[in-house]
Structure 1
Amino acid sequence: MKKIFYILSVFLVMTSCKDALDIVQDFEINDPAVAFKTADDMKLFLNGNVYPAVDPSNEIFFTSVFTDEVGFGPAGVSTSDILTHRWVLNSTSGDASGVWVSNYNVINKVNILLDRSKLVNYNSLNAANQATYTAVLVHARALRAYAYITLESYFSPNMKDPNALGVALSTEPADIFGTKLPRVKNSEIFALIESDLQYALTNFTTTSVAAGSGTQLQHYLEKRAINAIAARYYNYKGDDANAKLNATAAIAGILPTTAASYSTMWTDTTRGEILWSLYRPNSAVGAWSNIAGLWTTNSTDINGSVNFDMSRKLFSLYENQIPGGDIRRDVFVDATSKFDPFYPNGPNPREDDVIVINKYPGKNPPLASATMQLRNDIKMFRLSEMYFILAEVAVHEGNLATAATNVREVRLKRSKTGVAPAITYTSAQQAYADILLERRRELSLEGHRYLDLKRMGVAAGVGIDRDKYDDDNQNLPLTLPASDYRFTLPIPLDEINANPNIQQNPGYN
């Protein structure tokens, strides 16, 4: 079930063998001086290599299975996925390899683009091509920053400590025979991330880098999306001032999607509050993945051979929590789901209770054919996350009332009646717990829960919280504290074997 596209060591090959060949095939030549002659050549590489490499499917799937978002469905799951669900995590885990290598693949492609862009004589270009040249670099550097932020969040034991161990720093195209790079301090990775983000925000223009028709504004990074990337980064890092500044900039002028149009945002028929999403075209071939296929086989209904269904405890958070009803219950759960009226005390609670995930319901015609039932744009950043970031910052500042206001803003928009109870926090721990609760509801199956618990779980007194019947073994523990070492991923064994300079994370030796 896991969508792991790259499994080789990043510093041995940096991309898979097929991927390395694809880079050459795109140009059908081996001489970069010929391949990169114009700003349009740079744009072609951005669209043909860099943007398609960005795919958080590994993070989304791992987070859903490892934490408390899904349970085993009736169609059965693989042995490796069973181990992930039972918190067996080590250097041979494909989940860690997928996150590590896919993000370094993005980084390497950006490094290639930045290096080859030097072959294009900027001063010889006309104004329009100079604008394209700069726009390509803006997008490329913002995407590199995003990839490094992702790697840091999963592999650094503590992103809030600049002296803690980070990941390997690579700013040049991979040399498969060159020096193997060690991991460096967070501060060194942060310097590159902040340089990339600053360049992107300072030089951003509305010059289009789109490959052609069929894409919309949210399918490429707009300035507010780069602000959103920066807001997440600074929030993870613990820089409240910059997290607040960038989250506020991302929010300016728009509001979270209301209940009336929430469902159409997930079918990709309206943009809603999406700041950036990855476009999934109507094609049965190519690099794009069927996002719903992470949890089901054929379709997002009870007859679709469901491998994983929504965990009972997550489902319960959408039931009777908001007066008048929570629109997320209707949107995220398919109507064909089986609900055991006696759950959990019925004779067969696992078999008679199948909560089918419908958060990614497929594109509707004419956006896609009937064969694209599992394909949706992947929502990378949404406005609601920015409100949660502002809520976290407010707690850090001791302003619990502002934190409550930001959380309630999201709840109001998810209420079918536009009504939500007032929120009053009396302690930081209570506020953190409620922010985690609302993030669990709103950002479920989008790849956040694992990192949310890593970042806030200890302060909130919250860890993984499962239902007894999420697994077919009812004797397993249902909780895992956020202080557990497994809330940092292991460096993949392939990387360690190929690179003696790389250091393993604590707990995995």
Structure 2
Amino acid sequence: MKKVFYILSFFLVLTSCNDALDIVQDGEINSEQAAFTSVEDMQKFLNGSVYPSVDPLNEIYFTSLFTDEVGFGPSSVSTSDILTHRFTLNSTTAEAAAIWASNYNIINKVNILLKGSQLIDYNSLSANNKLLYVNIISHARAIRAYAYTTLEAYYSTNMKDPNALGVMLSTEPVDVFTSKLPRVKNSEVFALIEADLQYALTNWNSSNLTAGTVPAQNYLDKKASINAIAARYYNYKGDNTNAKTNATAAITTSSLSLSAGSTYAGMWADTTRGEILWSLYRPNSSTGAWSNIASLWTTNSTDIDGSVNFDMGRKLYSLLDELPGGDVRSPVFVDASSTFDAFYPNGASPRESDVIVINKYPGKSGSLASATMRLRNDIKMYRISEMYLILAEVAVREGDLATAGLRVRAVRQARSLAGASVAINYTSPQQAYADILLERRRELCFEGHRYLDLKRLGVAAGVGVDRDVYDDDNKTLPLTLPASDYRFTLPIPLDEINANPNIQQNPGY
């Protein structure tokens, strides 16, 4: 089954302010006049509408399918998924439309909240409510910065060029009948992202936004989590100073460290926070069917009997066996029920007998464990390991290969079952970039990074998509796609082009 969420075009998904407020859901409002009359209304909308709209599953699914993270499993795969896996990418590709629409959906929710907040007389609020008001805005603007960073990364041909064409810029709730927005230069989008981040970093405070017992990491509970959003943005942009400052702050002010051993395993089962800076709370179906993250690759459960549609690519699996003393990621990411061909790749039927079941999202456990939770986990948005790898990448750009090696070494030592530490001595930027890409491939697999990592670093590293011949049932197909290929920028969806005469398509489409 095709796993696509928010597949409607931008102008079908993003309603006018009035329309959005007329759709009554938990935490939403049913009339503009009564929409935001108190800080509590803002809080309900943030918790009931803005946070639940954050949905990276389209990015995670597309990335795993298009790059070298998965191969065909023993169960059925749809024709459209086969085409995407075989590098067919155009303006009708559902995943491209879904990534576009879901991130503009986030932006529109934030814009509704920011617009509605203007109806409240800030000066008349109590001291505590003033803090809460400002903190709600801080969270909302940080989330908008995240969404725009994602759009820029996928749809701009080059985030490092401020004059390259970016995406549509919207700071008001969108009116479906009048808003036909053009794409603008990256620099214009960057200005909004940086204003949002600066506001959030300056004004974040510890006033409580949540109700009940939601784990702290499921909100931007510390300024360090906003530093992490900023670090990724500035790294994508190639701003070394700000990427380093924010990645360092995310590490040093979070009170978190790289997880190892059972803590690392528990982090993926949602039994411990570990090194998570921000994750999305997905405890039950009330937050949407897309909370079943493991269903992107399997049907019923994350074991060999779960009707596995896609399994882990063989080359990716092999990379998880290279650390001295063993790699904790191998038993955490791969289910023990997986079947391995002892003679791979020379056995009688290597593709059929070698099924490496993806278990990075093993389902809820503890008090939340049940039959309905076996495919459901919180979605890990930012972790400490990504910050280390950002610092490594920045160090290479600054010509400091020794520091780059130390940052990668720290991640590998934490992931080694024996705590082994092997010195890394890079002799060229290309070697360093290739090794950073290798570690990001291991560490961040099935989290939606590989496509953008190849787009950003593949050419400099001399690395492209790297598949095993048995990741597909057709052994004559190309096993690689160079990072210079135009398909490492997504097409603007056809529905958007048909509805919006002002929009411009990306090259190659």
What is the TM-score with the length of structure 2 in the denominator?
Answer: 0.97
Please tell me whether residue 138 in structure 1 is matched to residue 175 in structure 2.
no
Residues 194-203 or 23-32, more deviating: 23-32
- Which of 388-397 and 284-293 deviates more? 284-293
3-state SS of paired residue (1:11): helix
Aligned to 2:350, the other structure's residue is in SS state coil
Does the 8 Å CA contact 2:23/2:30 hold for their aligned counterparts? no
Alignment of 1:337-486 (within 5 A): 337-486=338-487
* Corresponding residue of 1:299: 301
2:266 maps to 264
Q: Give the partner amino acid of 1:281.
A: P
CA contact (8 A) 1:322 1:420 kept: no
- Displacement, 1:13? 4.5
The letter of the residue matching 1:279 is Y
Shift of 1:371: 2.0
Alignment correspondent of 1:241: 241
Match of 1:129 in 2: 129
Q: Within 2, Cα distance between the matches of 1:196 and 1:290?
A: 31
Within 2, Cα distance between the matches of 1:360 and 1:30?
A: 36
- Hey, what's the Cα distance between the residues in 2 that align with 1:215 and 1:28? 19
Query: Could you tell me how far 1:8 is from its partner in structure 2?
Result: 2.5
Cα deviation, residue 124, structure 1: 1.0
Measured after TM superposition, the shift of residue 9 of structure 1 is 2.4
Match of 1:381, SS state, is strand
1:456 partner amino acid: L
Matches within 5 A, 1:15-30: 20=20, 23-26=23-26, 30=30
CA contact (8 A) 1:61 1:294 kept: yes
Tell which deviates more after alignment, 83-92 or 288-297. 288-297
How far 1:420 sits from its partner (Å)? Answer: 2.8
CA deviation string 1:254-294 (max 9, x = no partner): 32001232100100000000000000113477455200000
d(CA) in 2 for partners of 1:303, 1:174: 46
Structure 1 residues 59-458: aligned runs within 5 Å = 59-210=59-210, 212-221=211-220, 222-252=222-252, 253-283=255-285, 286=288, 288-319=290-321, 321-458=322-459
Q: Deviations over 1:386-434 (max 9, x none)?
A: 0000001110111100000000000000001100321110000000000
Q: Distance in 1 between matches of 2:378 and 2:195?
A: 29
Letter in 1 for 2:189: I
Aligned partners of 2:27 and 2:48 also within 8 Å: no
Distance 1:445 1:282 in 2: 21
In structure 2, list runs of 5 or more residues that go unmatched: none
Q: Matched residues in 2 for 1:27 and 1:61: separation?
A: 28
Find out whether 1:499 has 2:487 as its counterpart.
Answer: no
Other structure's SS at 1:276 match: strand
The farther-off stretch of 268-277 and 248-257 is: 248-257
Alpha-carbon distance in structure 2 between the residues aligned to 1:495 and 1:483: 26
Q: Is the 8 A contact 1:363 1:375 kept in 2?
A: yes
Residues 258 and 411, structure 2, Cα contact 8 Å, conserved in 1: yes
AA aligned to 1:180 is: K
SS of corresponding position for 1:351: helix
Offset at residue 4 of structure 1 (A)? 2.4
Asked if structure 2 preserves the Cα contact closer than 8 Å seen for 1:168 and 1:181, the reply is yes
In the TM superposition, residue 15 of structure 1 has moved relative to its aligned partner by 5.5
Deviation of 1:504 after TM superposition, in Å, equals 0.1
Shift in CA distance, 126/288, structure 1 to aligned 2, threshold 3 Å: farther
CA distance in 2, matches of 1:22, 1:68: 43
Is the CA contact (8 Å cut-off) linking 1:52 and 1:288 kept in structure 2?
Answer: no
Distance in 2 between residues matched to 1:295 and 1:425, nearest whole Å: 36
After superposition, the C-alpha distances for 1:359-387 in whole angstroms (9 at most, x for unaligned) are 00001131232321000000000000000
Distance 1:32 1:282 in 2: 30
Tell me the amino acid that sits aligned with residue 316 of structure 1.
Answer: S
Aligned residues: 505
Cα deviations by residue, 1:20-50 (Å, 9 ceiling, x for unpaired):
4873455786432212100000000111111
**Cα separation, 2, equivalents of 1:334 and 1:22:** 45
> Per-residue deviation at 1:76?
1.4
Q: 1:179-227 CA distances to partner (integer Å, 9 max, x unpaired)? A: 31000000000000000000000000011111x2231110001211100
Kindly state the Cα deviation for residue 12 of structure 1 after the two structures are TM-superposed. 4.7
Q: Is the CA contact (8 Å cut-off) linking 2:6 and 2:13 kept in structure 1?
A: no
Letter of the 1:76 partner, please give it: S
- Report the Cα distance in structure 1 between the residues aligned to 2:28 and 2:401, rounded to whole angstroms: 59
Equivalent position amino acid for 1:101 in 2: A
Structure 2: which amino acid aligns with 1:237? Answer: K
Query: Could you tell me how far 1:324 is from its partner in structure 2?
Result: 1.1
TM-aligned CA distance change 1:232 to 1:117, over 3 Å: same
Measure, in 2, the Cα distance between the counterparts of 1:207 and 1:168: 33
Q: Residue type matched to 1:507 in 2?
A: G
**Counterpart Cα distance in 1 of 2:311 and 2:288:** 27
Asked whether the equivalents of residues 279 and 381 of structure 2 are also in contact (C-alpha less than 8 Å), the reply is yes
Q: Which residue of 2 aligns with 1:489?
A: 490
Query: 1:245–1:46: structure 2 CA closer, same or farther, 3 Å change rule?
Result: same
Between the aligned partners of 1:310 and 1:31, the Cα distance in structure 2 is 48
Contact 1:40 1:132 in 2 (8 A): no
Percent of pairs identical after alignment? 72
| Segment drifting more, 367-376 vs 264-273 | 367-376
CA contact (8 A) 1:412 1:418 kept: yes
